[in-house]
Amino acid sequence: MTDSKRIYLDYAATAPMLAEAKKACIEGFDHWANPSSPHGDGRAAQAMLENTRRRFKDVLEWDGDVIFTSGASEAIQIALTKSKLAKQ
């Protein structure tokens, strides 16, 4: 899909990634430890995760929470739950 004149409108489940995003994913795959674990690898993974969260906030100029999810269904559920809690 390298034809720059082509118009692709089926982004329901996927979208092209910027080269920078691909590079960041590959770097993340190299640091696969559990960020909730207290050992050295876990602490390094936690530091990388928090650095990534901060970078997202900076790029988006956002001062709210940044929550990483496994997909849209989970993200929508979290958003709806937070919305309901905010109204209480």
Taking only the tens of pLDDT, the chain with its 88 residues reads 566 788 877 777 778 888 888 888 888 888 889 999 999 999 999 999 999 899 989 988 999 889 989 888 999 999 898 777 677 6
Per the document, the length of the chain is 88
pTM to 2 decimal places: 0.66
30 assigned to some structural domain: yes
Q: Are 88 and 79 in contact (CB under 8 A)?
A: no
Q: Which domain holds residue 53?
A: 19-87
C-alpha atoms less than 13 angstroms from C-alpha of 78 in its C-beta half-sphere: 11
Could you tell me which of 53, 49, 76 has the C-alpha nearest to residue 63? 53
Q: Are 36 and 46 in contact (CB under 8 A)?
A: yes
2 assigned to some structural domain: no
33 assigned to some structural domain: yes
Number of domains in the chain: 1
Q: What is the pLDDT of residue 35?
A: 92
73 assigned to some structural domain: yes
